[in-house]
Chains A and B, each alone.
Chain A
Amino acid sequence: MNAVEKLNMTQENKSSWIEVVALDDIPQLGSRVIETDTMNIAVFRTASDEVFAMKDQCPHKKGPLSQGIVHGNSVTCPLHNWKIDLASGKALGPDEGCTNVFPTKVENGKVFIELTQAG
């Protein structure tokens, strides 16, 4: 199945897990960027090997969250230091805003994300 077919499936079934990268290819406390036709998605890996995915766009001024520092279950945006919760995509502390998150799972060392909520 090529990527376009995957995309079609995504839109028809409204649910589809897509394998994106091997877990080992994301640095611990780091991230990788997935480029899609419509947006960039950041995939983060925490110290305890949990994986989170969200739209690579800070709710503040669209900073690339993938480039921030990951700590605990949050990431600090590289542009103006907003702290974003990886699980919910919500800004923490005094800031308010939210970015889209995507479900992820890790099976056999591979990371999958589900793009149903893409938009």
Chain B
Amino acid sequence: MKQKLVLVGNGMAGVRTLEELFKHGNDQYDITVVGSEPHPNYNRIMLSPVLASEKTIDDIILNSREWYQENDIELITGDTVTEISRVKRAVITESGREIPYDRLLVATGSNPFIIPVPGADKEGVLGFRDIYDVEQMVQASKDYKNAVVIGGGLLGLEAANGLLKQGMNVTVVHLLDSLMERQLDKPASAMLKASLEERGLTFLMEAQTAEIVGDKRVSAVKFADGSQVDADLVVMAVGIRPNLELAQKAGIYCERGIVVNDTMQTYDPQIYAVGECVQHRNECYGLVAPLFEQAKVAANHLAHIGSARYEGSVTSTKLKVTGIDLFSAGDFNEAEGDESLVMQDSAAGIYKKLVIRDDKIKGAVMYGDTMDGTWYFQLMREGTNIADFRRTILFGQHDLGDAGHGDAKVLSLSDDAEICGCNGVTKGDIVQAISKNGIFTLDEVRAHTKASSSCGSCTGLVEALLAHSVGDGYDDKPSKKGMCGCTDHSHDDVINAIKEHELKSMPAVREFLEWKTPDGCASCRPALNYYLLARWPAEYKDDAQSRFINERAHGNIQKDGTYSVIPRIFGGSTTAQQLMDLGRIAEKWNVPTVKFTGGQRIDMLGLKKHELPGIWGDLSEAGFVSGHAYGKALRTVKTCVGSEWCRFGTQDSTRLGILLEELTWGSWMQHKYKLAVSGCPRNCAEATIKDFGVVCVDSGYELHVGGNGGIKVRVTDLLCKVETEEEVLEYVGAFTQKYREEAHYLERTAPWVERVGLTYIKECILDDEAERKALCERFKFSQTFAQIDPWKARAEGEAAQEFTPLKIAG
């Protein structure tokens, strides 16, 4: 028989827990949900836009009544649980229902704090918490004129802005001398105040409320200094208190909130709690991002998987007042020994401040331009060393070369602006999908609109839209993001597990990390296949069915289903004999197009799949190997003529390029990987936009890393200078292996270097000679398995099925 799970509190954290539970497949529980409010679960965050008439109640429903039905949930709305009987294992409601439980989930949220001044119980005094409050406010705005909002924090300002939009005269009363003092420093706070005043809000700072004046309904608010302002509506937004009364009455241990451990269990093991009502490691949270993390953990335990732990959250804040961009995270007031970076442009209304400790971001405040808020937040959470780009960090990620992220001013784009060029998805499509489907994550946007699901270069834009549309509910934790829909584990989790637990096959990885799908998907399978291959080159057997078609067929699929063939021309240096052989072979196979590539070699396009082994056989006989132009692999090593001929050449760049290609060809990577060697700083081989570039100088070789010439151009960083060719080979081997072992699948060196920081790479490769040599050795070891020409093997019959069609008439 199924167990009974009862959820008290039909709000954001509780229902999210149920959704997370269903992701594990719920066959264990009969579920009942009891909520005081008469509505199904809605997006409480969006009450502010509803009050400002930017959205309707219907827009913000997250789970319709049909959703509860489809999931066999018994939903009781408009009834309040008044008692938890732990002896009977049942909850009792106001209307007299008695509902038994085996497991209970308490998610009662919190209550607005109402200052206990005389008159606080008069008609027209409200909190700002639920749909009822908003309806009362909208009604009051029709019947009355003057509103006072007590509290100049996030909620208070959003309420004030909404009431102003409803046409009321609004005065904001704040006890302290600056607004949102918990999130903003003084300059940002002053800018915010000025811009709200410009919109028509009035502020009374350092004013202490003493009494609510009026008969039945409020008519004025009186202050400690004796002054008063007229008011027909008073909104108290001075803070929230975890709603723990019910739990406390049942004898469950509470302090400021209901105390839970890292598995979201209360002191009664049958009873779990999540959301604002909870106190975890001494923290109570009032934003949805941490609550959603809690929900994930609680669901993991309710589903008896039992591996997840909640370890607390770092939070960030945004204000949802249209036209005002504000972002804050961490400690934004410098402590001793901290430094701060500040940029202020009062005319443009922009202010940014970062607090730095030991080259890491500790806090951020931004006003006017918050595009990079999520980026700073990510750097802060991951503790990235920012020394390398400190000088430009305030200009934003865009200025960093921006390898595939972010873009300026997405919010100012019009609705028909195309965001995803691959799938033709507009800004309007995305925003609509987010609000219509109640989306919180990038994956969901991808599933619903396809935006960012192809080349991914628009991911930053989509994330910015998400962040803006759903506020802090947006799951913006790249480091903790699951690899794909099949798992909650991040790329790093997977890479580490494969290494530490010596997992050597895909089923082993999926079982150990509790994959949700039996055989993965088109996105995780190639990644796992690569991680296993890179970690266990000798033992792991490559899985052809987990490779994209290009790598499986060792040619590049073209739009008409034919393939291209690009043989390797080491260092871009060829001979008359090679050219004649290529010409002869191209003629024999009637190759429709022969073309010089941008990578200094020759492309034969338009071959049918079944012809491939044949032409490869001919090429192999003439001494060619695969150029891997189709693979996440070493592509080309471009060179210039160098000292052998060029009047400026300082070293033999062509020869060095050939040596490098001989060292690296055949190796699989997370992404394409390109090298170049230029004979002097004129840099004809364009070495400074390659994954690894060598620029020869009189005294030796400059080594450059992390360049990219593709979608977003990024110039390399200088790694170091060395004196001999042997050193160049060793450093190339070491850097390449470092990348191969640690970057995420489909992450090219440019974004990888930006993510982990050049300093980190230097520490491993420059400062630690033993580690450098070991990396290089591991690379060479794995090359002994990789440098087997896949074309020759297939010409001789390997994987013949792949290239042989079946024929029937029909």
Chain B residue contacts of A38, Cβ below 8 A: 810
Q: Which of B422, B545, B807 contacts A80 (CB 8 A)?
A: B422
- Over the window 777-810 of chain B, the binary record of Cβ atoms lying under 8 Å from chain A Cβ atoms (1 yes, 0 no) is 0000000000000000000000001000111111
Q: Which of A18, A33, A62 contacts B810 (CB 8 A)?
A: A18
A28 to B521, CA, bound (A): 14
Q: Which of A7, A27, A72 contacts B545 (CB 8 A)?
A: A27
Would B808 and A18 count as touching, CB distance under 8 A?
A: yes
The reply on B454 being an interface residue by CB < 8 A is: yes
Chain A residue contacts of B423, Cβ below 8 A: 80
Would A36 and B454 count as touching, CB distance under 8 A?
A: no
The reply on A49 being an interface residue by CB < 8 A is: no
User: In chain A between 1 and 31, which residues have their CB closer than 8 angstroms to a CB of chain B?
Assistant: 3-4, 6-7, 10, 18, 20-21, 25-30
A48 to chain B, nearest CB (A): 8
Would A6 and B810 count as touching, CB distance under 8 A?
A: yes
Q: Which of B448, B520, B557, B810 contacts A36 (CB 8 A)?
A: B810
Known A30-B544, A72-B517, A80-B422; contact A118-B806, beta-carbon cutoff 8 A: no
Would A79 and B559 count as touching, CB distance under 8 A?
A: yes
The reply on A78 being an interface residue by CB < 8 A is: yes
Known A27-B801, A47-B518; contact A69-B810, beta-carbon cutoff 8 A: no
The reply on B341 being an interface residue by CB < 8 A is: no
- Over the window 545-571 of chain B, the binary record of Cβ atoms lying under 8 Å from chain A Cβ atoms (1 yes, 0 no) is 110111011000101010000000000
Q: Which of B453, B520, B809 contacts A4 (CB 8 A)?
A: B809
Bin the interface of chain A by size. 35 or more
A37 to B809, CA, bound (A): 6
User: In chain A between 92 and 106, which residues have their CB closer than 8 angstroms to a CB of chain B?
Assistant: 93-95
User: In chain B between 406 and 463, which residues have their CB closer than 8 angstroms to a CB of chain A?
Assistant: 422-423, 447-450, 453-454
Would A76 and B519 count as touching, CB distance under 8 A?
A: no
The reply on B525 being an interface residue by CB < 8 A is: yes
- Over the window 52-81 of chain A, the binary record of Cβ atoms lying under 8 Å from chain B Cβ atoms (1 yes, 0 no) is 000000000111100111111000101111
The reply on B522 being an interface residue by CB < 8 A is: yes
- Over the window 517-555 of chain B, the binary record of Cβ atoms lying under 8 Å from chain A Cβ atoms (1 yes, 0 no) is 111111001100000000000000000111011101100
B456 to chain A, nearest CB (A): 11
Chain B residue contacts of A93, Cβ below 8 A: 447-448, 450
Would B519 and A47 count as touching, CB distance under 8 A?
A: yes
Q: Which residue of B lies closest to A47 (CB)?
A: B519
Chain B residue contacts of A47, Cβ below 8 A: 518-519
Chain A residue contacts of B522, Cβ below 8 A: 68-69, 71, 76, 81, 83
A68 to chain B, nearest CB (A): 7
Known A6-B810, A35-B805, A68-B549; contact A94-B447, beta-carbon cutoff 8 A: yes
- Over the window 490-529 of chain B, the binary record of Cβ atoms lying under 8 Å from chain A Cβ atoms (1 yes, 0 no) is 0000000000000000000000000001111110011000
A-B pairs, top 8 by smallest CB distance, nearest first, are A76-B522, A3-B809, A67-B549, A69-B522, A29-B545, A78-B549, A36-B810, A34-B806
Interface, chain B (partner A; CB < 8 A): 422-423, 447-450, 453-454, 517-522, 525-526, 544-546, 548-550, 552-553, 557, 559, 561, 801, 805-810
| Contacts A35-B807, A69-B545, A79-B557 supplied; 19 other A-B pairs, CB < 8 Å | A7-B810, A10-B810, A18-B808, A21-B806, A25-B801, A32-B805, A32-B806, A36-B809, A37-B810, A47-B519, A64-B561, A67-B553, A68-B549, A70-B545, A71-B521, A81-B453, A93-B448, A93-B450, A94-B448
Instruction: Please name 16 pairs of A and B residues whose Cβ atoms are closer than 8 Å in the assembled complex, sorted by A.
Output: A7-B809, A28-B545, A29-B546, A32-B806, A33-B805, A35-B805, A35-B807, A36-B808, A40-B805, A43-B806, A69-B522, A69-B545, A69-B546, A80-B454, A81-B453, A118-B810
